[in-house]
Amino acid sequence: MKITVNEDENLQETEIIINCKVLDAAILKFLQVLREKQNVIMGIKEEKSYVIKDTDILYFESVDKKTFIYTHNEVYESTLKLYEVEKKFLNSHFFRASKSTVINISKIDVIKPILGGRLEVLLSNKERLIVSRQYVPILKEKLDY
Amino acid sequence: MKKLMIITNDIKAIISMFSVSILMTYGFVSFFTGNESIPLSLFWESLLLGILTGGLQFIMYNKKFLKNLSNNVRVILHYIIIFILLVMFIRVFNWVEIWKIKEWIFIAIYTVYFIQVCVAFAIYTKATGERFNERLISYKEKNDIRE
């Protein structure tokens, strides 16, 4: 397999193009590895770094300018800002739910409207979070409401 | 500061809602009582009532306060406190005289209005919640998300 890396300061985004005769098993495996890399995030806990898959994440929360990653059993700190998390997972199951949280839709069990045009979501770990009124349209769009 | 802004915004919305509804009700009742103008004092009185009821609404339905109360108890307590507030306003500001209706009719209108708002909100919550949860299930099926 021939690999070419084109380094250009003017490029806005990193792009990988695969030119092949047939999309065989080896290339599919390679693509799978690449996709998995895209859907992970580094989390720090007790000075150790962990690779966390997006499918394990319930939500992200920003507290005192620090971003935390919540899974079923653990809480990790992320080096990314909340808006960077939002951008990274823009095309996945995550959505901005308030100024301080980004929630994984796939981990929501129940959605309940509450006073003030807000929503309360019950996550799979039985934790309840609020979707602010201004972010309800984003969830609606994701759900094709 | 951010929280204060959000709280202020919520209270402001409720105050506006109450004040406007009082003035609209006055306008509606005026069709029958023949009033052609609204006393300026009534505007300030309704605004004061709006502020009190807005603050009350915020306290009653905010989960940070009165944590041990169930939703039903909150609604009943809310009804009773507003009832007391209304009676106080009626007596202190002679609203019955301004409105030219009997006191019990005023209270009956309030009770019907309160029940109507509660029922409307319950229906809205149920219908919207069901729709959201249906869409959530569809989303999970479409994206092959398993529990």
**Mean pLDDT score, A91-102:** 93
Q: Write out chain B residues lying below 8 Å of A115, CB-based.
A: 61
What pLDDT score was predicted for residue B87?
Answer: 84
Where residue A126 falls (left for φ over 0; alpha for ψ -120 to 50; beta otherwise) is left
Which residue, B74, B72, B65, B75, is CA-closest to B117? B75
Which residues on chain B are in Cβ contact (under 8 Å) with A116?
10, 13
Q: Check whether A103 has a pLDDT greater than 80.
A: yes
Confidence band for A106, pLDDT divided at 50, 70 and 90: very high
Cβ separation A145–B135 shorter than 8 A:
yes
Alpha helices per DSSP H over chain B: 2-33, 40-60, 71-93, 95-99, 103-142
Residue of A75, A115, A42 whose CA lies nearest to B11: A115
Distance (Å, rounded) from C-alpha A79 to C-alpha A90?
18
Our CA-based measurement puts residue B19 at a distance from the nearest CA of chain A, in whole angstroms, of 17
- The residues, ordered by sequence, that sit 6+ positions from B147 with a Cβ below 8 Å of its Cβ are A124
Nearest CA in chain A to B118: A115
Instruction: Name, in order, each residue with C-beta under 8 angstroms of A65's C-beta and a sequence gap of 6 or more.
Output: none
Please indicate if any CB of chain A lies within 8 Å of the CB of B16.
no
The low-confidence residues of chain B, meaning pLDDT below 50, are: none
pLDDT digits (tens, 9 = 90+) for B66-103: 777 787 888 889 889 988 988 888 888 887 766 666 77
Strand intervals (E) in chain A: 40-45, 48-53, 57-63, 66-71, 75-78, 94-96, 101-104, 108-114, 118-123, 128-131
| Residue (of B48, B139, B54, B130) closest to B95 by Cα position | B48
Q: Mark out chain A residues that contact chain B at CB-CB < 8 A.
A: 93, 99, 105-106, 108, 110-116, 119, 124, 142-145
Q: What are phi and psi of A39, to 5 degrees?
A: -100, 25
pLDDT at A76 over 90: yes
Q: Which residue of chain B is at minimal alpha-carbon distance from A123? A: B147
Closest CB to A105: pick one of B124, B128, B139. Answer: B139
Touching check for B27 and chain A: CB below 8 Å? no
Query: Inter-chain contact A93–B2, Cβ cutoff 8 Å?
Result: no
The phi, psi pair for B76, rounded to 5°, reads -65, -45
Q: What is the pLDDT of residue B40?
A: 81
